[in-house]
Structure 1
Amino acid sequence: MNGRWPTIILLWFIGVLAAAQLGKMAALMPAIRADLGLSLSSAGLMVSLIEAGGASLGAIAGILAARFSGRAVLAAGSILVATAGLAGAAAPDAALLYAARLIESIGYLMVVIAAPSLIAMAAGRASATALALWSTFVPVGIAAGTILSGLAASLIDWRLILVFWALIVLTTLPGTFRLPTMAEHRQTGLAVPPVAIWALALGFGFYTTLEVGVLGMLPAYLSDAWGFSIATAGVVTGVTSAATIAGSFAAARLIGTGEGARRPLTLIAIGLAAPAALFFVGFPGGGLATGVSGSVVAMAVIAANAISGLVAAVAFARLPALLRRSGAALSLVTASNGVFAQFGAAGSLIGPPLVGYVASHWGWSTVAPVVAGLSVLSLAGFALGERLAGKS
């Protein structure tokens, strides 16, 4: 594996930069709302719109991408992300900024389908551990996007920050073109992943709904409900997102010892139940709210995200395992990533506007019970996937 890690790290970093496009918009949204006059629900949609491509086209895009070179798909996706970022920076109104985000979403989809497939091929037998690392690309990307964009927003215009992220994405292209040739398993037809993968992806979709929903609207929540500045809210959101790495690292260690393969549902249950409980402190209501400060709220949400990292890491690591248990060919890994992208993107697309809608109609304290309900649905999806794979 030592010789393969540079390739794996590069692919992971490209994914991180793609995910940073979600974080940048969350941190910049207070400034964009003030400039373009967006409502809270419209702001949530702007944040999550980068997932529109995956939510609508993920599964079919994965099936089609399996017929092409992973490197070509990855490079084309990065180019689209960067081009859309530059277009967004030049957008004179909200309508054109929405259009740029839609284009960005197609590039993002291409990256998140191609990169994990190439990682699985590069890692070989150690693909579970490598994919556990890949599972951190969203929290790390959101952390980078929110922290850097939040700090920069107090110094320069939000449009210049969009230009910065576009140029950073373009710097990865030389590395993409120099990726070593891998024995890619391309499909000659349009093969569909087994039903166990769809169930696993369903559980992942409910997880991303609650995870990205909270993260996407956290800067607005901290600003509106607790009086945090834009820069401070962005930093707290970035730290909250980065904290997910702790759970992912713990999961990777357990996967390496074999424990993750023996008790995947136990790890996922812990990664869902403990955060759901902590969110009642992070989004307090009633009498609890009077005894909670902004710092306690921030610590509760950070701790919740640290534990929830177990879920994404185990989910990505289980994908090749469930393919094998279902008797499916390894060549279906790209198509399966497309299914994962579809459900994950749908959850990420729905999450922020859902949280924004709930908060604007019933108050921020109602976010906690919504998260608890989504956690139950997520666990049910993961359990169904394991059960269906066992019957194959």
Structure 2
Amino acid sequence: MLVIIAAPALVTLATTPADRPLAFGLWGCFMPFGMAVAMLAAPLLPTLGWRGLWLAMAVLLALAALLAWRRLPAAPAPAGLGLGAAPARLLHDLAHTLAAPGPRLLAPLFLCYSVCYIGLTGFLPTLLIERMGIAPGGAGLLTALVAAANMIGNLAASPLLRRGVPAWRPILAGALTIAATAGLIYLPATPAPVAYALALLFSAVGGLLPACLFAAAAAHAPTPRLVPVALGLLMQGSTIGQVLGPVLVGTVATAWGWSAVGPLLAGVILTAAALALALRRLPPPA
């Protein structure tokens, strides 16, 4: 959790404004890439066991920590801020950030997106097995491809942002695509190959949102000094959505069946689309 929340601020610190869209696009790939690798590694479980898998991840994390210690720049220390003043300063910074309209819109927007992305990818193996009759091994591979497709949108956002396209436009396009595809994926009448193709489209175009949200949060922070706070608030929205997504989808699927999941996800992401339109009405970031 500390890594996920702190990393966008470190990206801001380590990049120039011109390179930031690409850097945020790369960072936005962490979730789909990790999910895809984890699903592809599932066949190793009988050999490694879950303890072996966790130990292997611990080694990778230790290597990542070593690289971070050796290569990442140190954050500048706040000038004239003693230990006694730190809590008051933190509360002031948080209040100042929450008072700005941009961060207040972006955090719930990311929450809505996370609910939909995790809701799709987390339950897609079950859907593929139960509704489409695919074997567990094949369902894992197909789900890994859907998760990985999200990286396409993350990386495609970079050239759009560098050309001056306002962040709300790719966000709105991705949200509307998710709404349209989610409404069809879970319909019993949708043929299995079509439903899977729609899941790929859902993930690929929906990937526009994370990179654009990171860039928008940095741009709409009240002051440059508060960019890390705005990004931290954004990531809180994402992590809350990752918790709520499986709960909501699991509850709805259990109570009313898979066909009710599509309207649920469509309604959630249309809320994100409305927030993107509200973002459009904000003054251009300084």
> TM-score by structure 1 length?
0.64
- Percent identity between the two aligned chains: 28
1:273 equivalent among 150, 166, 176: 176
Change (3 A) 1:183 1:358: closer
> Structure 1 residue 141: deviation in Å?
1.6
Partner of 1:300: 198
Partner of 1:360: 254
Task: Report 1:216-295 matches (<5 A).
Answer: 216-259=122-165, 261=166, 264-285=167-188, 288-289=189-190, 292-293=191-192, 295=193
Q: Secondary structure at the match of 2:281?
A: helix
> Structure 1 residue 360: deviation in Å?
1.1
Change (3 A) 1:391 1:165: closer
Residues of 2 paired with 1:186 and 1:145: CA distance? 39
| Count of aligned positions | 271
Unaligned runs of 5+ in 2: 82-88
> Structure 1 residue 386: deviation in Å?
4.3
Are 1:144 and 2:37 counterparts?
Answer: yes
Aligned residue identity for 2:185 = G
Residues of 1 paired with 2:141 and 2:116: CA distance? 20
Are 1:125 and 2:17 counterparts?
Answer: yes
8 Å contact kept, 1:128–1:318: no
Aligned residue identity for 1:217 = F
Change (3 A) 1:299 1:391: closer
Q: Secondary structure at the match of 2:16?
A: helix
Residues of 2 paired with 1:223 and 1:186: CA distance? 54
8 Å contact kept, 2:13–2:73: no
Residues of 1 paired with 2:72 and 2:273: CA distance? 38
Partner of 1:49: none
> Structure 1 residue 309: deviation in Å?
0.8
Change (3 A) 1:155 1:221: farther
Change (3 A) 1:117 1:123: same
Partner of 1:55: none
Residues of 2 paired with 1:366 and 1:154: CA distance? 35
Residues of 1 paired with 2:38 and 2:11: CA distance? 23
Partner of 1:110: 2
Aligned residue identity for 1:329 = T
Q: Secondary structure at the match of 1:178?
A: helix
Per-residue CA deviation, residues 190-215 of structure 1 (Å, 9 max, x unaligned), is 11212321211111111111111111
CA RMSD of aligned residues (A): 2.2
> Structure 1 residue 351: deviation in Å?
0.1
Task: Report 1:44-83 matches (<5 A).
Answer: none
Per-residue CA deviation, residues 206-225 of structure 1 (Å, 9 max, x unaligned), is 11111111111112222222
Partner of 1:316: 214
> Structure 1 residue 369: deviation in Å?
0.9
Partner of 1:383: 277
> Structure 1 residue 296: deviation in Å?
3.1
